[in-house]
Structures are given as structure tokens and as C-alpha cells.
Amino acid sequence: MEKLTTIDITKEYLHFSAAHFTIFSASERERLHGHNFFVSAAVTALVQADGMCFNYCQLKDSLRELCVGLDEYLLLAENSPYLQIHELGKNYRVTFADEEMFFLKQDTLLLPVANITIEELSYYLLQRLLEDSRYSSNPDIREITLRVASGPGQWGSSQWQNPQA
């Protein structure tokens, strides 16, 4: 019988601060505002003979790098059907409904998502984590759940199950 365990990584330093606005429809959006987003991961894996399942210090480092990559940026949904984003010199010109907004490129990240929500951010970060073969190609890792919170008690999560398992 296999011995599986789930390692939950929730550290105070796994967070990023970012500005965004959520788009509700073709004509309604939130005002630009910011959050301190928190990130956590739960990894279910096979426990090895040495009593460990994988080096989760590496996982903590990977999650920290993902957070640092989003910290102190304005996040824009590059795949939103309601935004038109154009480069204009050192700026992005963003059109939404009848609004035109300008953001400095150096302060802005375009993410390949439909909206900047905790649902989309959890999926985006999970996909970025899975780019690392230490997680995606490890047959002993059976499942990863990545969660993003925009405030206390408000989490979005995305889950991956290893097809090799």
C-alpha cells in the first residue's frame, strides 16, 4: 500500500502586492485598486522510505519567486475580451468601453488571463509552477492545489493531477 501525504505550504512571505481592476461585463468594471495577495500550495505526494516525499524547500523557493515576479505591478488581463491594449511608446494605452487609460509599461504586467481575479491568478501561478519539471515530471507528486487570496477568508484555488500517477 502506498503512503501518501499532503504538504501544505502557507508562509507569510508568500505574498505580492499588486494593483488591478476586475471586469464584470463589457461596460462595468471595478475602480483601479490594490491588494496584498497571498499564495499557498498543497502538494500530495508519495512518502519515500526516508520519511520524506520531496524537497519542499525548493517548492517554497519556487513559490517565492513567482510572488516576487508579480510584486508591485499593475496587472492587466491580456486575454480579456473587453480590453484593448496597445503599446504607445513607454506606455500601454488601454481601452475599456468608452474609457481610455494609460499605464507605464515599466509598472505594468500583461498576464495571459481573461480577468485579474483570484480564480485566474491561482490558475496562472499553478501553470507557471508546472513549467518546472521538478513538479510536473515527478511521478511521486500526485496532485498540486495552488491558492491565491485577495484578503482574509477569500481564496481562489486551482488543482492539477499528475497524469503519470
Q: Which helix (H) or strand (E) holds 110?
A: strand 108-111
Q: Is the pLDDT of residue 165 over 80?
A: no
Residue-wise pLDDT for 78-113, tens only, equals 999 999 999 999 999 999 999 999 999 999 999 999
Give the domain extent around 92: 4-161
Count of the separate structural domains present in the chain: 1
This prediction's pTM? 0.95
Largest CA distance in the chain: 62
